[in-house]
């Protein structure tokens, strides 16, 4: 099993959708490149990779999605996490993701 944890900061932004808005953070390009190099062959549908995410004391399972337009992975932030950690659009958050295979 390969495990790798990445810690970073990113700004929260809004992607408007048909049924509501998605709150996302874009992983830095250098980290995205490393993840794609090591784990890209394991991507699932929508170029996703399952991860365990951590913001402060909140941990949850989610996925990151590779966005070819940005050249980076995007990280969705669930409502429950945003509420618990008081996260809003435009905030810069510190978080980690752990990829396990």
Go through the domains of the chain in sequence order and give each one's CATH number: 3-100 (2.40.30.100)
Q: What is the pLDDT of residue 21?
A: 83
Phi first, then psi: what are they for 62, rounded to 5°? -155, -165
Low-confidence ranges of the chain (pLDDT < 50): none
pTM listed for this prediction: 0.91
To the nearest 10°, the Cα dihedral for 9, 13, 25, 17?
A: 170
64, 75 Cβ separation under 8 angstroms: yes
């Amino acid at each position: 099993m390969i495990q790798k944890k990445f810690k970073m900061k990113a700004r929260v932004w809004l992607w408007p959708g048909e049924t509501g808005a998605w709150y996302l953070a874009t992983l830095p390009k250098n980290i995205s490149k490393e993840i794609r190099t090591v784990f890209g062959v394991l991507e699932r549908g929508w170029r996703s990779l399952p991860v365990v995410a951590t913001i402060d004391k909140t941990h949850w399972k989610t996925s990151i999605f590779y966005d070819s337009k940005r050249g980076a992975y995007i990280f969705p932030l669930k409502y429950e996490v945003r509420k618990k950690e008081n996260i809003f659009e435009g905030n810069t958050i510190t978080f980690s993701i752990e990829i396990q295979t």
